[in-house]
Amino acid sequence: MRQLRTVIRSMLTAEGTVLAMDDATIVWKPRVGKQKRVKLEARASVLLGLMGPMGMIDKIVVGNEYGGINFILLSTMEVIDKFSVGNSEIRSLCSSSMSGESVLVGCENGSVHMVGKNVPNRVIRLFELDGPASALKIVGQDLHIHQGWERKIVAWDGKGVLVTA
Query: What is the secondary structure of 81-148 as a DSSP string?
Result: EEEE--SSPEEEEEE-STT--EEEEEETTSEEEEEETTSTTSEEEEEE-SS---EEEEETTEEEEEET
- Tell me the pLDDT band of 59, cut-offs 50, 70 and 90: very high
Q: Domains of the chain, with CATH numbers? A: 7-164 (2.130.10.10)
pLDDT at residue 37 tops 70: yes
Instruction: Compute the distance between CA of residue 23 and CA of residue 74 in angstroms, rounded to an integer.
Output: 19
Q: In the prediction, which pLDDT does 42 show?
A: 97
Per the prediction, the chain carries an average pLDDT of 92
pLDDT above 70: percentage of residues in the chain: 94
pLDDT at residue 3 tops 90: no
Amino acid at the residue 33: G
pLDDT at residue 1 tops 60: no
Q: What is the pLDDT of residues 73-94, one digit of tens each?
A: 999 999 999 999 999 999 999 9
Task: Please count the CA atoms within 13 angstroms of the CA of 70 that sit on its side-chain side.
Answer: 24
Task: Please count the CA atoms within 13 angstroms of the CA of 154 that sit on its side-chain side.
Answer: 18
What is the model's pTM? 0.92
Q: In the prediction, which pLDDT does 99 show?
A: 65
| Report for 73-82, 92-101, 134-143: range of highest mean pLDDT | 73-82
Q: Which residues contact 73 (CB under 8 A, 6 or more apart)?
A: 58, 59, 80
